[in-house]
Structure formats: C-alpha cells, structure tokens
Structure 1
Amino acid sequence: MPSAAKSRGPSKRPLGFRSRSSHEYEEEEELEARLFGTRKHRKTQFDHDVAEAGLGWMRDNELFTVDLPTVSRDDNVSEDEFDDGPKIEFMEKPEGDHPESDPRDESHELWHDPADDALSVSLKGSKRMRKLARGQKDVDHVNGSQLQSKLREQFERLHPKPDWASRRLESKMPTMQRLLASTASFISTDAFGDQRPSLPTTTIDIQRLRNANAAVPSEEGSSSALTGTVDLAWHPSAKMPVLATAGTDRRVRFFNIDGHTNAPLLTLHIPSLPLSRISFHPSGTSLLITGTRPFYYTYDLASQTITRSPRNLFGSAPTPTSPQSLERTRFSPDGTLLAVAGRRGAVSIVEWSHGGSTGVVVAELKSGRGGSVADLAWSDDSSELSVLGGRDGAEVEVWNVTERKIVRRWKDDRAYGGMLMRQHRSEYTALGSSTGIVNLYRSASLTSIGINENSRIEPYKSLEHLTTPISTMAFHPSGELFATASSAKQKQLKLYHLPTGTAFSNWPTQNTPLGRVNSIGFSSGGEYMAAANTKGVVLLWNLKHFAN
C-alpha cells in the first residue's frame, strides 16, 4: 500500500540527531531553575502525594509556618490538655532568612564558569581598563572573577546605594521583634494635641482601605450565634500599629496595620478554647485570650510564649457564683487587677502579676441582687468598678474595690441587658440595650448619686438609630467619636460625633459592605477604625481627620 510504503521510508531527521531521555530533560529544567529561577524542581509523584496528605488541610497562605514549643506548662495540667494546647505559627520568615547588610558577604554563586579563572585581562590597555586599576599600580592583569568584582565596585561608587535600600537590608529581625525592640514607652501620654482643628459634626472624611486580615481571614461560621471573626483588639500604643483578631476557627492573628499590605505577623492556634474575647494588657506587653471555658491564656509579646491560667483559679470545686466562662472580663487601667463576671451577679477580682501565670482571686463582689452580669467598667484610677446587670439588666452598681462595698447604685429604664463602656478620660458613660437604644451619660453626673436603688439618671443623649440588640460599642481615643453596632442584622453600624451625639449623614452608606458586625474598635493613634463581621472579614477605614 502506498501509505504503508511511505511510512517505512527513511526518516527526515537531520544527521547526528538523537532522541533525548526524560532524565536529560529533568537535568536541563533543574539547571534552568537554579540559574534563572523560572521553574521549581520537579518533585516525584511520591513527594507530591505526601505533601497533599500532610498539608491538604492548611490554607495556601499558612503553609510556611513554624510551630514553636513555647507554651509554659503547668505541672498540674494533664497530658491530654497539654497535647491539645496552643501553638504559635509565625507568618514571617525566620530571623536567619533575612539578608545581611551586604548580601555578597555570605551569599555563594549557584554556578561558576572555570573559564573565568583562566581568563587574563590587562589593566594597562585601554583608558577604561586603567580606571579600574586606580590605587593598585602594581596590578597588571586580573582574571575574570576579579574583573567582575572591580566592575561591580566601580558601579556602586558611581551609583551609591539609596537610603531606603540600606534601611531595608539592615532590618534583620522579624516584624514583631522589631516592633518590640524600642526602649521607648509603649503608652503615649497624649496622642491628640490641641493644635488639631475640631471634628466636623455632620460629615466625616473616611476612606476604606484594604481589609485588615485580607492576607489571612478567619473562617466563616454557620452554627453559633457569633461566627467568623468574633473580636478584635488594637495594641494600646500609638507607636505600635498592631491589630489582633479572634475567630471561630480558634485562632488569634496579629497584623501590622499600615493601610496597604497589613502584613500578618503570627497566628496563635488554641484548639482547647472556643474564643469569644481578646484584650491587650494596659501596658501593651501581653494579650489576654478568653472564651466559653473557666480558664484563660495569655500571650507575652516580648518572650513569645503562651501561658495558661493557674489550675483551680476559681476554686477546686465549682460554686454557685464561680465563673463557668470568661466571656466578660476587664483589666483595670493600671493593669494590676482583672475583673471577671461570674454567675448570680458575682464578680471575681483577680490580682494580675507575671503575665497572669500566677493570678490569684483576691476578692469576690456579691451584692445579692441576682441576675447575670452584662458588662464591667473601671474608673480611671482603678479604685471603682461599675457592674451592669440585675434581673432586667438595667441596674448599675458601683463598687469600691478596696473596701469591697457598693458606693453608688443607679438604674436606666431603657438599658436591658446591653453593654457598659466608659471612655478612658471619664468623660462619657454609654449603655447599650437590647432594643438598640444607646444612652450617653456625662460621667461627672454619675458621681453624686447614692446607693438608693430607685435613683434614676436622665441621659444627656439617647441614640436611637439602631433597632436590634447592641453587640459592640467603642469610643475614639480623642473622645470625639463613638461607634455602635449590632450583629443581629446586616449593616447595623452607626458612627456619632461627640459631644453633640449627631450621627454622620455621609457614612455608612447603603453600599458600605458591613455585613453583620461582631466587634468594632479604633486604633490607639486614632487614624484607623476596624470592624469584624460574621464572614470572617475585618474591614478597615482611614479617618482622615486623625491621619496626621
């Protein structure tokens, strides 16, 4: 057959051609990757299968992490609890991976051409070559490697390294360590001077930025009331723009907020604790992590260690008033005490020392009124603690912690099981209710009342824009802004001007992608506002008025 005869004819391949084996192709690809960085090494199918089995559950942006055994162990904790303990996952390169100030000092060439050593170039020939021999009159000839070094030195002499490159190369520490390396005080005395103009009362200049946790978002939950990112906390120092977030995936993540990259710093994974609240210690040295369990964890930022609360902190056996969860806690402003809401209206006072590792309950405040504790708030001098609760959630008891007695008691008829928060300068007290109403009080007006249970104080402002239970509130550090939100419905967030109590008319809009907001907070420097929602997203905005 003609076709068969044609197929049996001689090959039209050029003379000297031979087929290449797969091994030769792999060697060529490997050499190309080492020289030009265009491809990765081709792994065997066995290696690929092992990687899929071992890391298939991890996210792509969390594959390169380091689990450090830096959990302080309590001898009384069982082996099972310790095996399920927290882990630290760094989201940055280890310290040894950072380049030195001169990358040529320790780097080595991936490929060396022996012909360079055999090459001999005269420096006495052309004018260009004579310039390379300046200062070395005795050198007549150099080999190829020496010539390359001289050309590089001449280029760097003509084009000096810019300052930004020098600063980048000198940054050898991981980001968290670099932020903690300063010997300056964490806490600024006053971040808001008198030179700044007053904030407009009706509109606000606000700009949305890249999501704070865009690099590593929390997982979206579906079954519990609080899902996604349940809480956030800003570092108390304006000099350290670090934001911590807690998610239903039982991970606490730290981010270095700059409004552009918002680089992730590290992740704490705590399998044994369903998270509900995180808060920085007032000194800024540690983070308190609590949830729906009668114990807590603290993360020390300087030593990068996690410590569990002491065993039997609230007694060897549960009592009718001992806490079954630590969802409502509050540090005193001086950082020496931690108030923990218990059952039946009781509040435990924990003496805070050594990062919480040796915490001791020094007092238990019990008024006998019954009901649950809705929220807690300290006075600026840490001497008094306000407790919101009662059977209808509208009663506020003010305790003198030192004397362990109630010094004032008052009631808000419209605050039913909401939230209590006091601004750090003791200018305002805000009570949020299950009806969505937030009542604002001048804190000075609350100091003259007695312990009469029928004392009723009229708020100076009632904020009635929301109609669902208030879940989170936050004061701006300057005292000029107040934010409130509810997670019961979509887009339930309002921003108010203080002291007028006027809601800004230009924000948020119908197109602002708020979702269901679980937590809101302002940065200590005042330039950022963050809002965490049930989808695991932490939205971030820049407040232009406070940017400088």
Structure 2
Amino acid sequence: MLISQNALAKTTAPKPDAPPTPGADEVLQPKTAMNESKPKSNKKRSRDEQKSKKSEHENEMKRLEGVLFGSLYAPPEFGSESKPADPSTLFIEDRSTDNQLSVYEEDQQLVSKENRKPAWFDEEEERTQVDIRIVNRLRKLRKDVDEQVISGSEYVERLRAQHMKLNPGTDWARAGSDQESGLTAVDEEDSDFLRSNDELVVKDTVKLLPGLLEFSRLENANKEERSNSVINSVQFHRNGQLLLTAGLDRRLRLFQVDGKRNPKVNSIFVEDCPIYKASFLPDGSEVILSGRRKFFYSYDLVKNNVNRVGPLTGRDEKSLESFEISPDSKTIAFVGNEGYILLVSAKTKQLIGTLKMNGTVRSMAFAENGTQLLSSGGDGQVYHWDIGTRKCIHVGTDEGSLLATSLCVSPDSSLFCTGSSSGIVNLYKRDEFLGGKRKPVKIVKNLTTEVNEMRFNHDAQILAICSRMKSKAVRLVHVSSGSVFSNWPSGKLGLARCLDFSPNSGFLTVGNAEGQVLLYKLHHYQKA
C-alpha cells in the first residue's frame, strides 16, 4: 500500500526542470480539495440555498426602494466615473388622471377605518372607582345630582367629553375632506344631476312611508315628579333635551329627556296663576307663562328669575290664556276680546300693535319666519296678516268650517291646516290658497270631536292632531297621503290635552288630564 501511494505521488508531481503546464494548478486544486475535504451534508446545502434566496430578496427590495425613493443604497464612490442616472429611479410617472377614482374602494377604506378596534384595553380602569362628589372641580362631571362614584373608564370618557366641550378646536385645524384635497369621484350620472335644478344636498333621512309607524313607548317624561292636575302645555327646547310641562297646579317643570330616567332640572311655582299655556321663546332664552288673568309671566332661563308682566297698557282683556310666539323671537301675539289680536314685543313686553278680525279669534299661527300671521275663528275665515304693516293681505273661506278651533303652519310655511268644531282637519298649500284656489289638498276625518291641538314635525311629514273632548282622540297623519298611521296610538293614553315633537322628531310627547307626560321614540328619525 505504501508503494502504491508513492507511485501515485510520483506520477502526479511535476518535474522541477519542466516548465509549468498552463492550467495544471486549476486542474489539480479541485482534485486535492475533494481528497482533503468531506462531502457537504444536506443541511449545509439547504443553508446555502436559504442564504442565496435571502440575498436575492434583499437585492430585490433595495431595487424596489431605489425605484420609489431614489438610489439610497448606491452611494457614489470616490474616483469612479459618473454615469448618467436612470430616470426611472428619480421620477415616478403619475398616471392617476388616466383612470377613474373608484368610489367603492374609498367607501371600503372608510368603513375599515371606522370599524377599527382599540389596540389595547386597560382592565384596571374598570376596577378603579372615582368619587366625583368630594372634589369641587369634579362635580361638573356629574350627570345627576345624586351621582357619586363612577368607574375609571367612565371617568376618562367624561373628562374627554368635558375637554372637547371647552376646546372644540378650529375649522382650519381639522382634517380636510376629499373635496378639499382635490380628489373627486367621477360618475357617469353626474351630467344628469347638473341638468336638473333639484337640491344636491343628500338628506339624512328617507321619505316616511304611510301605513305603520315604527315607535316605542319610553318612560314618562315627568316620571320623577308627576303633576297633581291637568297638563295643559308640553314643549321641547331647541336643544332637543330640555322639556317643559305646565298645568293647572301652577307649576312649570323642566325635565332633561334621555328616554330612561328623564331627571327633573327645575320647578317654578306661580302662586296666583293656574297655567293654561307655557312656551319657550324660539331662541331658548325665556319661557312665557299665561292663564286666565290680565297679566302673564316671563321666566328667564339664564338669570333664573320670574317677572310678572301686565296688564297691557290701553287694553282691558280679562284673559291672556292663548298666545303664539313668532319664530324670530320678536313678537308675541295674544288672543284678545271682540276679534282683536294683541301684538307684544318679546323684548320689552310692551304692546306694539293690534289686529282686528270680523269674528272672534280662536287660533293663530305665524308664517314666513314671523313676518306674517294667520288667524281664524268664529266666522269660518282664514286671515293672513303682514306684521310689519299691520294690514290684512288676504282673507279666504275655510271649506266646510263654521267655527275654526285650531290652526297650524308647517315649519317651511308651505302648508297650513285648520281644525274645526266637528273634528274635520283641512290641509292646504299656502301659495295656492293665497292665489285663490281654496280647495284643501287633503281632508282628515278621523276625529269626531272638536280639534284643539295640531302640530307638524320638523320636516312636515307627520301632522299630529288632538281633541280634548274624548279619550285617546289623538292621531298621527301621514301628510303626503293624508292617511293616519293605523298602529298609533296603542296602549293607555288617557284624555290627551297637548303634544309636541322634539326639534328633529326623534321624540313625541303627549300630556294628558291625569298629570302624565307620555314619551315616545319615533324610530324613523335618528336625532332628538
């Protein structure tokens, strides 16, 4: 064996005198390495393959980043010749204008942003209890006078809400919309919208359908302090959360309506005047109270004081129990004797003018933001008055009416309705009535006794009518069709005396003769 090894060495070793053969080292070195090293294992091969794939992936990532952000990974070398840069690595060609922007993709992105869940939940906040009645500066966080201890998470939410209330921010600091940033959605139907003169503002609610009304009965609005006598007035404040109730017990009560507890906010006792009507000024600053007296009261919500006003100078009215307030909060119109309407300044509480009808006055309603007044009464006529000139601009006959007992105008002044002693309600278009067409567009015959109360909701899709002469004599009318909702009222309602919608029609309240103020939620409307 030794002889064969030496023989192999002799045959492979080159002679010292012979010149080196070109390429001999290259041929011999691989053979020597193969003899001296062990074969590679499978693990080593797989490891090398992974390294090569990783390096290829890194090179590809660097190439893509170079395309997007420039040649960040290729710094210039000193001494090397400068080569012209590839324009594809320096510039990105914008082709966004060639394609239409997909509205559906945007909507999907917005939905995904809105549905994001919190990344972390602190369980310690739920276990923490905070007493907000001990520290004076924390008492403003209470939602109820008797509230004392809240959880940590609720404490954080109330602090955040209080901060947003005190620091609402500015418009310029808010995130801009797509329209402000220059993004516009291209739609093939845009030209159809531009060809019409219809409103382009998208309404927050769809049209209300006739037939059945979706509603639910909530806790009574005056559950915390029920009245001991008849409720004559209920009305929502312009903020939609404050509700006034008043009646023959001489008390004005204010409740914060939430549909669950409805806590009482304040109560005012008027010693010498059972209240027949109470109403907020539309600007929300005062409440006007009146009864069968020569005077009336004004309750200032800001200063929390009550002032007695009257008797009115130059007049000898024995009762100021019926009145209406103009939508601009400037004028109060009282029903007077012998067909007179008394106009009183809401600011000075002084008599500023009178209007005279041919018959007795039974009902009134303002129109056109307080610049016009409608009145009706014992002669079966509907009068239109100009408040600025104190003149009658139109008189028309209410069809089929001998004695008009109620009058109501829609919020946009396009419609008005009259109620009669026979229970008939006539619905008119005001511009047609003024133009000479005095035929009602709808006639409602669902009541059989005198109509005492009528109220449109904020978008004039619902008309509530009420009679005080019969139990459960309340109906909700679908204005477009002229039909009543067949499933309302339901349950015990009592002898209804008054009613009102909240500013955005989310709530409906009804006051009855038993001292209750019933509260309903109308599901078609999302806001109170």
Query: Which TM-score band applies after superposition, normalised by the shorter structure?
Result: 0.5 to 0.7
Deviations 1:426-482 (A, max 9, x none): 121010111111111112212224xxxxxx711111100110111211111121111
Q: CA RMSD in A?
A: 2.9
SS in 2 for 1:444: helix
Using the alignment, how far apart are the partners of 1:98 and 1:326 within structure 2? 48
Among 207, 213, 218, the residue aligned to 1:204: 213
Residue equivalent to 1:383: 371
8 Å CA contact 1:323, 1:341 repeated in 2: no
Q: Does 1:530 align with 2:509?
A: yes
Higher relative contact order (CA 8 A, sep 6+): 1
SS in 2 for 1:275: coil
Using the alignment, how far apart are the partners of 1:301 and 1:193 within structure 2? 36
Deviations 1:402-431 (A, max 9, x none): 222211001114332310111111121010
Specify the structure having the higher radius of gyration (Cα): 2
Q: 1:251 to 1:180 in 2, by over 3 A?
A: farther
For residues 135-214 of structure 1, the aligned pairs below 5 Å read 162-166=152-156, 194-214=203-223
For residues 360-399 of structure 1, the aligned pairs below 5 Å read 360-367=350-357, 369=358, 371-390=359-378, 392=379, 394-399=380-385
Among 472, 476, 495, the residue aligned to 2:476: 495
Q: Does 1:460 align with 2:441?
A: yes
8 Å CA contact 1:256, 1:265 repeated in 2: yes
Letter in 1 for 2:422: T
SS in 1 for 2:243: strand
Deviations 1:321-364 (A, max 9, x none): x43211221111211111111001011111221xxxx3221111
The Cα of 1:198 is off from its aligned counterpart by: 1.6
For residues 226-375 of structure 1, the aligned pairs below 5 Å read 228-238=230-240, 241-309=241-309, 311-315=310-314, 318=315, 322-353=316-347, 358-367=348-357, 369=358, 371-375=359-363
Letter in 1 for 2:296: Y
The Cα of 1:102 is off from its aligned counterpart by: 6.6
Show structure 1 runs of 5+ residues with no match: 1-95, 104-159, 173-178, 185-191, 221-227, 450-455
Using the alignment, how far apart are the partners of 2:519 and 2:512 within structure 1? 12
Using the alignment, how far apart are the partners of 1:181 and 1:336 within structure 2? 32
Using the alignment, how far apart are the partners of 2:384 and 2:291 within structure 1? 25
Show structure 2 runs of 5+ residues with no match: 1-131, 140-149, 171-200
Letter in 2 for 1:361: L
Q: 1:161 to 1:543 in 2, by over 3 A?
A: closer
Using the alignment, how far apart are the partners of 1:180 and 1:332 within structure 2? 32
Residue equivalent to 2:144: none
8 Å CA contact 2:231, 2:512 repeated in 1: yes
8 Å CA contact 1:398, 1:408 repeated in 2: yes
Residue equivalent to 1:484: 465
Q: 1:182 to 1:389 in 2, by over 3 A?
A: farther
Deviations 1:95-145 (A, max 9, x none): x96754579xxxxxxxxxxxxxxxxxxxxxxxxxxxxxxxxxxxxxxxxxx
Using the alignment, how far apart are the partners of 1:161 and 1:515 within structure 2? 41
Deviations 1:244-269 (A, max 9, x none): 00021110100000000011111010
The Cα of 1:274 is off from its aligned counterpart by: 1.4
8 Å CA contact 1:209, 1:259 repeated in 2: yes
The Cα of 1:527 is off from its aligned counterpart by: 0.4
Q: 1:420 to 1:298 in 2, by over 3 A?
A: same
SS in 2 for 1:207: strand
The Cα of 1:206 is off from its aligned counterpart by: 0.5
Aligned residue-pair number: 354
Q: 1:489 to 1:303 in 2, by over 3 A?
A: same
Using the alignment, how far apart are the partners of 1:170 and 1:229 within structure 2? 39
Using the alignment, how far apart are the partners of 2:367 and 2:386 within structure 1? 10
> TM (normalized to structure 1)?
0.61
Using the alignment, how far apart are the partners of 1:314 and 1:330 within structure 2? 19
Using the alignment, how far apart are the partners of 1:406 and 1:335 within structure 2? 21
Calculate percent identity across the aligned residue pairs.
29
8 Å CA contact 2:399, 2:440 repeated in 1: no
For residues 84-163 of structure 1, the aligned pairs below 5 Å read 99-100=135-136, 162-163=152-153
8 Å CA contact 1:515, 1:533 repeated in 2: yes
Q: 1:300 to 1:502 in 2, by over 3 A?
A: same
Q: 1:193 to 1:432 in 2, by over 3 A?
A: farther
8 Å CA contact 2:451, 2:465 repeated in 1: yes
8 Å CA contact 2:208, 2:461 repeated in 1: yes
Using the alignment, how far apart are the partners of 2:166 and 2:265 within structure 1? 12
Q: Does 1:411 align with 2:397?
A: yes
SS in 2 for 1:418: strand
Letter in 1 for 2:299: Y
8 Å CA contact 1:385, 1:400 repeated in 2: yes
Using the alignment, how far apart are the partners of 2:151 and 2:212 within structure 1? 46
Letter in 2 for 1:348: L
8 Å CA contact 2:399, 2:439 repeated in 1: no
8 Å CA contact 1:100, 1:169 repeated in 2: no
